[in-house]
Protein backbone atom coordinates (compact mmCIF):
# COMPACT_ATOMS: atom_id res chain seq x y z
CA UNK A 1 0.00 0.00 0.00
CA UNK A 2 1.51 3.32 -1.06
CA UNK A 3 0.82 6.66 0.61
CA UNK A 4 -1.50 7.64 -2.26
CA UNK A 5 -3.30 4.31 -2.81
CA UNK A 6 -6.88 4.98 -3.87
CA UNK A 7 -6.12 8.60 -4.83
CA UNK A 8 -6.50 10.10 -8.30
CA UNK A 9 -4.26 12.85 -9.65
CA UNK A 10 -4.95 14.98 -12.74
CA UNK A 11 -1.68 16.43 -14.05
CA UNK A 12 -1.28 18.91 -16.90
CA UNK A 13 1.95 19.06 -18.90
CA UNK A 14 2.57 15.44 -17.90
CA UNK A 15 4.40 14.14 -20.98
CA UNK A 16 7.84 15.22 -19.81
CA UNK A 17 9.68 17.43 -17.33
CA UNK A 18 8.25 18.13 -13.89
CA UNK A 19 4.76 16.85 -14.75
CA UNK A 20 6.07 13.44 -15.76
CA UNK A 21 8.36 13.12 -12.73
CA UNK A 22 5.44 13.98 -10.46
CA UNK A 23 3.09 11.55 -12.22
CA UNK A 24 5.62 8.74 -11.72
CA UNK A 25 6.31 9.63 -8.10
CA UNK A 26 2.58 9.67 -7.28
CA UNK A 27 2.01 6.42 -9.20
CA UNK A 28 4.87 4.79 -7.28
CA UNK A 29 2.94 5.64 -4.12
CA UNK A 30 -0.21 4.03 -5.51
CA UNK A 31 -2.10 6.95 -7.12
CA UNK A 32 -3.96 6.54 -10.40
CA UNK A 33 -2.99 9.22 -12.88
CA UNK A 34 -4.80 11.28 -15.53
CA UNK A 35 -2.03 12.70 -17.71
CA UNK A 36 -2.93 15.66 -19.92
CA UNK A 37 -0.51 17.24 -22.39
CA UNK A 38 -0.67 19.15 -25.64
CA UNK A 39 1.65 16.42 -26.96
CA UNK A 40 2.72 18.25 -30.10
CA UNK A 41 4.76 21.25 -31.13
CA UNK A 42 2.90 24.53 -30.87
CA UNK A 43 3.69 27.76 -32.68
CA UNK A 44 5.38 29.50 -29.73
CA UNK A 45 7.81 29.05 -28.09
CA UNK A 46 10.10 27.20 -30.51
CA UNK A 47 11.36 24.41 -28.28
CA UNK A 48 10.46 20.77 -27.80
CA UNK A 49 7.03 20.07 -26.34
CA UNK A 50 5.81 16.75 -25.03
CA UNK A 51 4.88 14.08 -27.58
CA UNK A 52 2.19 11.42 -27.87
CA UNK A 53 4.94 8.77 -27.63
CA UNK A 54 5.99 10.27 -24.29
CA UNK A 55 2.38 10.16 -23.08
CA UNK A 56 2.11 6.50 -24.14
CA UNK A 57 5.40 5.55 -22.48
CA UNK A 58 4.29 7.38 -19.33
CA UNK A 59 1.13 5.26 -19.21
CA UNK A 60 3.22 2.09 -19.62
CA UNK A 61 5.63 3.16 -16.87
CA UNK A 62 2.77 3.96 -14.51
CA UNK A 63 1.18 0.58 -15.21
CA UNK A 64 4.50 -1.17 -14.62
CA UNK A 65 4.47 0.45 -11.16
CA UNK A 66 1.10 -1.20 -10.51
CA UNK A 67 -1.06 1.93 -10.86
CA UNK A 68 -3.51 2.94 -13.58
CA UNK A 69 -3.29 5.79 -16.07
CA UNK A 70 -5.47 7.53 -18.59
CA UNK A 71 -3.82 9.88 -21.08
CA UNK A 72 -5.27 12.84 -22.94
CA UNK A 73 -3.76 14.94 -25.71
CA UNK A 74 -5.09 18.49 -25.50
CA UNK A 75 -4.24 22.12 -24.94
CA UNK A 76 -5.02 23.76 -21.57
CA UNK A 77 -6.42 26.69 -23.60
CA UNK A 78 -9.03 24.42 -25.20
CA UNK A 79 -12.04 24.24 -22.90
CA UNK A 80 -13.68 21.36 -24.81
CA UNK A 81 -10.52 19.24 -24.67
CA UNK A 82 -10.10 19.95 -20.95
CA UNK A 83 -13.77 19.18 -20.17
CA UNK A 84 -13.52 15.92 -22.14
CA UNK A 85 -10.34 14.90 -20.27
CA UNK A 86 -11.86 15.67 -16.88
CA UNK A 87 -14.98 13.69 -17.82
CA UNK A 88 -12.78 10.83 -19.09
CA UNK A 89 -10.97 10.84 -15.74
CA UNK A 90 -14.23 10.72 -13.79
CA UNK A 91 -15.50 7.90 -16.03
CA UNK A 92 -12.27 5.95 -15.47
CA UNK A 93 -11.60 6.61 -11.78
CA UNK A 94 -14.73 8.27 -10.34
CA UNK A 95 -13.02 11.31 -8.77
CA UNK A 96 -10.09 13.73 -8.76
CA UNK A 97 -8.26 14.14 -5.44
CA UNK A 98 -5.18 16.04 -6.63
CA UNK A 99 -4.95 18.60 -9.42
CA UNK A 100 -1.44 19.63 -10.46
CA UNK A 101 -1.69 22.70 -12.71
CA UNK A 102 1.77 22.29 -14.17
CA UNK A 103 1.62 22.90 -17.94
CA UNK A 104 3.39 26.10 -18.88
CA UNK A 105 5.68 27.78 -21.37
CA UNK A 106 8.55 30.23 -21.10
CA UNK A 107 10.44 32.47 -23.53
CA UNK A 108 12.46 35.67 -23.45
CA UNK A 109 11.43 39.02 -24.96
CA UNK A 110 12.06 42.68 -24.20
CA UNK A 111 8.89 44.63 -23.54
CA UNK A 112 9.31 47.00 -26.52
CA UNK A 113 9.86 44.05 -28.86
CA UNK A 114 7.21 41.69 -27.50
CA UNK A 115 4.39 40.85 -29.90
CA UNK A 116 0.72 40.50 -28.99
CA UNK A 117 0.99 36.84 -29.98
CA UNK A 118 3.82 36.21 -27.51
CA UNK A 119 2.04 38.05 -24.70
CA UNK A 120 -1.27 36.29 -25.36
CA UNK A 121 0.23 32.78 -25.60
CA UNK A 122 2.10 33.25 -22.32
CA UNK A 123 -0.91 34.53 -20.40
CA UNK A 124 -3.38 32.14 -22.03
CA UNK A 125 -1.32 29.00 -21.33
CA UNK A 126 0.25 29.87 -17.97
CA UNK A 127 -2.65 31.74 -16.35
CA UNK A 128 -5.91 31.13 -18.20
CA UNK A 129 -4.98 27.44 -18.66
CA UNK A 130 -5.00 26.70 -14.91
CA UNK A 131 -8.33 28.57 -14.66
CA UNK A 132 -9.88 26.46 -17.45
CA UNK A 133 -8.60 23.20 -15.94
CA UNK A 134 -9.57 24.11 -12.39
CA UNK A 135 -13.04 25.22 -13.46
CA UNK A 136 -13.60 21.82 -15.05
CA UNK A 137 -12.13 19.70 -12.25
CA UNK A 138 -13.07 21.54 -9.08
CA UNK A 139 -16.79 20.82 -9.23
CA UNK A 140 -16.02 17.14 -8.58
CA UNK A 141 -13.80 18.10 -5.63
CA UNK A 142 -16.58 20.36 -4.30
CA UNK A 143 -19.09 17.50 -4.49
CA UNK A 144 -16.61 15.25 -2.67
CA UNK A 145 -15.81 18.03 -0.16
CA UNK A 146 -12.13 17.22 -0.48
CA UNK A 147 -9.16 17.85 -2.73
CA UNK A 148 -5.92 19.69 -3.23
CA UNK A 149 -4.88 21.97 -6.08
CA UNK A 150 -1.18 22.61 -6.59
CA UNK A 151 -0.19 25.36 -9.02
CA UNK A 152 3.30 25.27 -10.51
CA UNK A 153 4.28 28.94 -10.51
CA UNK A 154 8.03 29.75 -10.36
CA UNK A 155 10.45 31.95 -8.46
CA UNK A 156 9.24 34.39 -11.14
CA UNK A 157 5.85 34.34 -9.40
CA UNK A 158 7.54 36.05 -6.43
CA UNK A 159 10.15 38.34 -8.08
CA UNK A 160 10.88 40.05 -11.40
CA UNK A 161 12.61 38.45 -14.38
CA UNK A 162 14.73 40.20 -17.00
CA UNK A 163 13.18 39.89 -20.49
CA UNK A 164 10.50 37.77 -18.87
CA UNK A 165 7.73 40.29 -18.20
CA UNK A 166 5.00 38.18 -19.80
CA UNK A 167 6.22 35.04 -17.98
CA UNK A 168 6.58 36.95 -14.71
CA UNK A 169 3.09 38.44 -15.03
CA UNK A 170 1.59 35.01 -15.74
CA UNK A 171 3.34 33.45 -12.73
CA UNK A 172 2.41 36.28 -10.32
CA UNK A 173 -1.12 35.82 -11.64
CA UNK A 174 -0.99 32.16 -10.66
CA UNK A 175 0.19 33.13 -7.18
CA UNK A 176 -2.85 35.41 -6.93
CA UNK A 177 -5.21 32.71 -8.19
CA UNK A 178 -3.81 30.40 -5.51
CA UNK A 179 -4.73 32.82 -2.75
CA UNK A 180 -8.17 33.64 -4.16
CA UNK A 181 -9.10 30.00 -4.77
CA UNK A 182 -7.89 29.08 -1.27
CA UNK A 183 -10.45 31.52 0.19
CA UNK A 184 -13.25 30.35 -2.05
CA UNK A 185 -12.63 26.62 -1.70
CA UNK A 186 -11.70 26.27 1.98
CA UNK A 187 -15.39 25.79 2.96
CA UNK A 188 -15.36 22.73 0.70
CA UNK A 189 -12.27 21.33 2.43
CA UNK A 190 -10.22 21.93 -0.72
CA UNK A 191 -6.66 23.21 -0.26
CA UNK A 192 -4.89 25.35 -2.85
CA UNK A 193 -1.13 26.02 -2.80
CA UNK A 194 1.52 27.20 -5.24
CA UNK A 195 5.09 26.02 -5.70
CA UNK A 196 7.96 28.23 -6.78
CA UNK A 197 10.95 26.36 -8.22
CA UNK A 198 14.22 27.90 -9.34
CA UNK A 199 15.54 26.60 -12.71
CA UNK A 200 14.70 22.93 -13.18
CA UNK A 201 16.58 20.46 -15.36
CA UNK A 202 13.83 19.83 -17.93
CA UNK A 203 13.35 20.13 -21.71
CA UNK A 204 12.10 23.70 -21.03
CA UNK A 205 15.46 24.60 -19.54
CA UNK A 206 17.29 23.06 -22.53
CA UNK A 207 14.92 24.73 -24.98
CA UNK A 208 15.37 28.19 -23.50
CA UNK A 209 19.15 27.81 -23.63
CA UNK A 210 19.03 26.72 -27.26
CA UNK A 211 16.82 29.70 -28.16
CA UNK A 212 19.46 31.97 -26.60
CA UNK A 213 22.26 30.18 -28.47
CA UNK A 214 23.79 29.12 -25.15
CA UNK A 215 24.26 25.93 -23.18
CA UNK A 216 22.01 25.35 -20.15
CA UNK A 217 25.15 25.74 -17.99
CA UNK A 218 25.83 29.22 -19.46
CA UNK A 219 22.25 30.29 -18.80
CA UNK A 220 22.48 29.03 -15.22
CA UNK A 221 25.78 30.90 -14.71
CA UNK A 222 24.25 34.10 -16.12
CA UNK A 223 21.29 33.97 -13.73
CA UNK A 224 23.62 32.79 -10.90
CA UNK A 225 21.01 33.16 -8.20
CA UNK A 226 21.11 29.81 -6.43
CA UNK A 227 22.89 29.95 -3.08
CA UNK A 228 23.53 26.25 -2.99
CA UNK A 229 26.23 25.26 -5.48
CA UNK A 230 23.90 23.72 -8.09
CA UNK A 231 23.02 25.16 -11.50
CA UNK A 232 19.45 23.86 -11.23
CA UNK A 233 17.27 21.43 -9.36
CA UNK A 234 15.88 18.17 -10.76
CA UNK A 235 12.26 17.41 -11.71
CA UNK A 236 12.24 14.80 -8.93
CA UNK A 237 12.80 17.62 -6.41
CA UNK A 238 9.58 19.23 -7.61
CA UNK A 239 7.84 15.86 -7.39
CA UNK A 240 8.94 15.43 -3.76
CA UNK A 241 7.46 18.82 -2.83
CA UNK A 242 4.21 18.09 -4.67
CA UNK A 243 3.86 14.74 -2.90
CA UNK A 244 4.30 16.42 0.48
CA UNK A 245 1.77 19.14 -0.36
CA UNK A 246 -0.74 16.62 -1.72
CA UNK A 247 -0.47 14.47 1.41
CA UNK A 248 -2.22 14.75 4.75
CA UNK A 249 1.11 15.86 6.22
CA UNK A 250 0.26 19.25 4.67
CA UNK A 251 -3.39 19.10 5.73
CA UNK A 252 -3.49 22.70 6.98
CA UNK A 253 -1.44 24.24 4.19
CA UNK A 254 -3.62 26.39 1.98
CA UNK A 255 -3.24 29.72 0.21
CA UNK A 256 0.53 29.48 0.74
CA UNK A 257 3.56 29.73 -1.50
CA UNK A 258 6.17 26.95 -1.28
CA UNK A 259 9.58 28.03 -2.49
CA UNK A 260 12.03 25.45 -3.88
CA UNK A 261 14.84 27.70 -4.99
CA UNK A 262 18.21 26.46 -3.66
CA UNK A 263 18.31 29.78 -1.80
CA UNK A 264 17.77 32.09 -4.79
CA UNK A 265 15.15 34.34 -3.21
CA UNK A 266 17.23 34.89 -0.07
CA UNK A 267 19.36 37.59 -1.65
N1 LIG B 1 12.08 24.46 -16.03
C2 LIG B 1 12.20 25.47 -15.19
O3 LIG B 1 13.29 26.00 -15.02
C4 LIG B 1 11.01 25.94 -14.39
C5 LIG B 1 11.24 26.67 -13.21
C6 LIG B 1 10.15 27.09 -12.45
C7 LIG B 1 8.86 26.81 -12.87
N8 LIG B 1 8.66 26.12 -14.05
C9 LIG B 1 7.27 25.83 -14.43
O10 LIG B 1 7.05 24.45 -14.24
C11 LIG B 1 6.05 23.99 -15.17
C12 LIG B 1 6.57 22.75 -15.88
O13 LIG B 1 7.74 23.10 -16.58
P14 LIG B 1 8.83 22.07 -17.12
O15 LIG B 1 10.13 22.63 -16.70
O16 LIG B 1 8.47 20.69 -16.78
O17 LIG B 1 8.63 22.38 -18.69
P18 LIG B 1 8.70 21.44 -19.98
O19 LIG B 1 8.59 22.35 -21.15
O20 LIG B 1 9.90 20.58 -19.87
O21 LIG B 1 7.39 20.57 -19.85
C22 LIG B 1 6.11 21.19 -19.94
C23 LIG B 1 5.08 20.21 -20.45
O24 LIG B 1 3.86 20.96 -20.60
C25 LIG B 1 3.30 20.70 -21.87
N26 LIG B 1 2.54 21.88 -22.33
C27 LIG B 1 3.03 23.08 -22.69
N28 LIG B 1 2.05 23.89 -23.10
C29 LIG B 1 0.89 23.19 -22.97
C30 LIG B 1 -0.46 23.49 -23.23
N31 LIG B 1 -0.82 24.67 -23.77
N32 LIG B 1 -1.40 22.55 -22.95
C33 LIG B 1 -1.04 21.34 -22.45
N34 LIG B 1 0.24 21.00 -22.21
C35 LIG B 1 1.20 21.91 -22.46
C36 LIG B 1 4.50 20.40 -22.78
O37 LIG B 1 4.15 19.65 -23.93
C38 LIG B 1 5.44 19.66 -21.84
O39 LIG B 1 5.23 18.26 -21.86
C40 LIG B 1 5.76 25.17 -16.08
O41 LIG B 1 4.58 25.80 -15.68
C42 LIG B 1 6.95 26.08 -15.88
O43 LIG B 1 6.64 27.42 -16.14
C44 LIG B 1 9.71 25.68 -14.79
Cβ(231) – ligand 1 distance below 6 Å: no
- At residue 223, the pLDDT reads 72
CA of 103 to the centre of ligand 1 (A): 5
Residue ranges in the chain assigned as alpha helix (H): 17-28, 52-64, 79-93, 116-123, 129-144, 165-185, 203-211, 216-223, 235-246
Using the atom order of ligand 1, give the atom closest to the CA of residue 47. 19
CA of 13 to the centre of ligand 1 (A): 6
Question: Mean pLDDT in runs of 10 for the chain (267 residues)?
Answer: 96 98 99 98 95 98 98 98 99 99 98 98 98 99 98 98 97 99 99 98 94 89 86 98 99 98 96
Return the CATH number of 8-266, one of 3.40.50.720, 3.30.1330.10, 1.10.4160.10, 3.40.50.2000: 3.40.50.720
CA of 6 to the centre of ligand 1 (A): 27
d(CA 200, CA 192): 22
Cβ(38) – ligand 1 distance below 6 Å: yes
CA neighbor of 264 nearest in space, from 169, 174, 161: 161
Question: Which of the following is catalytic: 44, 167, 244, 252?
Answer: 167
Among 45, 47, 103, 217, name the best residue to mutate to test ligand 1's pocket (greatest count of ligand atoms within 8 A of Cβ). Answer: 103
CA of 254 to the centre of ligand 1 (A): 23
Cβ(261) – ligand 1 distance below 6 Å: no
- At residue 1, the pLDDT reads 81
Domain boundaries, the chain: 8-266
Angle 165-185/129-144 helices, nearest 10 degrees?
10
Strands 8-12 and 190-197, how do they pair? unpaired
**Global pTM exceeds 0.85:** yes
Sort residue 255 into left (φ over 0), alpha (ψ -120 to 50) or beta. left
Q: How far is CA 239 from CA 1, 29, 44, 208, 233, in A?
A: 19, 12, 26, 22, 11
d(CA 18, CA 106): 14
CA of 45 to the centre of ligand 1 (A): 11
Distance linking the first and last C-alpha atoms of the chain: 42
CA neighbor of 93 nearest in space, from 165, 144, 32: 32
Backbone angles phi, psi at 171, to 5 degrees: -80, -35
Cβ(161) – ligand 1 distance below 6 Å: no
Among 48, 86, 104, name the best residue to mutate to test ligand 1's pocket (greatest count of ligand atoms within 8 A of Cβ). Answer: 104
40: which DSSP letter? S
Model pLDDT for residues 3-47, shown as the tens digit of each residue = 999 999 999 999 999 999 999 999 999 999 999 999 999 999 999
Whether 167 is a known active-site residue: answer yes
Amino acid sequence: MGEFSGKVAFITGAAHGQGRATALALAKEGANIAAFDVAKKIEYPAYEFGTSDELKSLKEEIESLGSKAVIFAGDVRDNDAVEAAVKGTIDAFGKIDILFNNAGICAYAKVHEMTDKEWDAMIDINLKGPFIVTRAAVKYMMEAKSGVIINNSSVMGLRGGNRLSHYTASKWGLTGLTKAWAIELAPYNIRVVSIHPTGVNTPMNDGLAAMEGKTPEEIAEASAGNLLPVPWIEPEDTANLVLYLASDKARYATGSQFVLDAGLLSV
